[in-house]
Amino acid sequence: MNERFPDVDWYCDRCDSHLNNQSNFDDNKYLWKCTECGHKNSISSTNIYDSKKDYWSGNR
């Protein structure tokens, strides 16, 4: 299956777990429920940041 966002690392907004490594992770889904904490994360282009610093400061 092709990735929608190749080379993008996804992290849980609640617990910061690396979502890409979670079993059956698929960035073609628009929501991903973290297998570590159960938080539903939005998987979309509006949630791609250059760094964690940019994420925390709200910079794109």
pLDDT, tens digit, 9 for 90 and up, residues 18-29: 999 999 999 999
d(CA 6, CA 16): 20
Domain count, the chain: 1
Portion of the chain with pLDDT greater than 90, in percent? 77
> Which is it for the CA torsion 16, 36, 30, 9, positive or negative?
positive
Cβ atoms of 10 and 18 within 8 Å: the answer is yes
55 vs 1, residue with greater confidence: 55
What type of residue sits at position 59? N
At 47, which CATH number? 2.30.30
Residue 44 has pLDDT above 70, yes or no: yes
Q: What range defines the domain where residue 56 resides?
A: 1-60
Residue 5 has pLDDT above 70, yes or no: yes
